[in-house]
A = this chain, B = another copy of it.
Amino acid sequence: MHIHIENDASAPQALHLNMQHLQQQLDAHPQLRGHFTLSENSNAAHTADFLATSDILWSGRKLALDTFSAPRLGWVQVMSAGVEQWLAHLPQGVTLTNASGVHGDKGAEFILMAALMFNFGIPGFLQDQAQRLWRPTFGGCARGKTVLLLGVGGIGAAAAKLLTAQGYRVIGVTRSGQCDADVARCIRIDAIDDVLPQVDVLVSTLPLTPQTEMLFDRRRLDLLPARAGIVIVGRAAVFDYTAMREKLCAGELAGAVLDVYPQEPLPVDDALWSTPGVVMTPHCSLDDHSAYLEGCLEVFIDNLVRFRSGHPLHNQVDVARGY
């Protein structure tokens, strides 16, 4: 069988998988040794040629697969967690596995940081600092505060563990209302309206699917108390950023720690840059380039072993639910 590696020429070298590296990993596994031929490409002009003869694809860049002829292709391993752009172009019969889990360690630390920043009023104190205002407030501990955690996948489950260990009361939100993560309780996504008024910190790790798109429209954002802070590390299109910005300007939210945006890079003239209470990181806070490639490769090698032995793959995207 042939595995083709498609790298993104514009990505940093640390995210390129080279054939030799993969070959070493294959050689190290008795179940994988000698069973695969490999190719590698980062020139978009040659992608079609490689796909024509590949059985398995490792891809470091987004491809509209249905615009290629890939008659033998059965499985694609991608390097991202969010896959909505892949799903829009996925030929029938092709299995898609993502990088879910690889962002967990760093993502959980970021979410914990953001939750603590709200507890200590950092978004407000940054505004005071800019105006040279000395206005102390003497609130309580973070412990015992309520975090509503939208999505309890790789990132969400890792965050739940840290937040719960820190004494937060974590309410997980999933499609089914069930999860194995370290949460106080878990609710269905269609039951969130009832709990929004209790929330101190709203964290979204949600993927973009038909069910999550614009889930947090103006009406739902209005259900949050003014003390609530919002952390968004999943897909931006789950939130109405305009409504969120207007609420921040009106003092109807405590702040927002954001890593993702409706358009990236965020246009220079976007009002979000200077919205009071917004702390921005440029879509990098969950990615650790020193460990990212190895993390994805671990998922891939594990799946190759499962593939060879006929077991179902891990991180397989469910086309119907969209993640």
A residues sitting closer than 8 Å to B (CB atoms) are 12, 105-106, 109-110, 112-113, 116-117, 119-122, 125-126, 128-129, 132, 134-143, 162, 165-166, 264-266, 268, 273, 278-285, 287-292
Given the contacts A132-B273, A268-B132, A273-B132, A284 and B117 also touching, CB distance less than 8 Å: no
Instruction: Specify which of B109, B132, B284 is in contact with A138 (CB 8 Å cutoff).
Output: B284
CA distance A294 to B292 in the complex (A): 48
* A136, A278, A287, most chain B CB atoms within 10 A: A136
Given the contacts A113-B113, A287-B138, A121 and B273 also touching, CB distance less than 8 Å: no
Chain B neighbourhood of A109, CB < 8 A: 116, 119-120, 141-143, 166
Given the contacts A119-B109, A141-B105, A142-B109, A126 and B282 also touching, CB distance less than 8 Å: no
Cβ B140 vs Cβ A265 within 8 A = no
Given the contacts A136-B283, A288-B139, A291-B140, A116 and B119 also touching, CB distance less than 8 Å: no
Cβ A281 vs Cβ B125 within 8 A = yes
Chain B neighbourhood of A116, CB < 8 A: 109-110, 112-113, 116
A-B residue pairs, 8 tightest by C-beta: A136-B284, A113-B116, A134-B265, A138-B289, A136-B282, A134-B282, A132-B273, A140-B288
Copies of this chain: 2
CB distance from A183 to the nearest CB of B (A): 19
Instruction: Specify which of B117, B132, B282, B290 is in contact with A125 (CB 8 Å cutoff).
Output: B282
CA distance A229 to B43 in the complex (A): 41
CA distance A110 to B116 in the complex (A): 7
CA distance A290 to B139 in the complex (A): 7
Instruction: Specify which of B126, B140, B266 is in contact with A134 (CB 8 Å cutoff).
Output: B266
CA distance A288 to B280 in the complex (A): 28
CA distance A119 to B281 in the complex (A): 12
Cβ B113 vs Cβ A120 within 8 A = yes
CA distance A16 to B313 in the complex (A): 63
CA distance A273 to B131 in the complex (A): 9
- Considering the complex, give the chain B residue whose CB is closest to the CB of A278: B129
Chain B neighbourhood of A285, CB < 8 A: 120
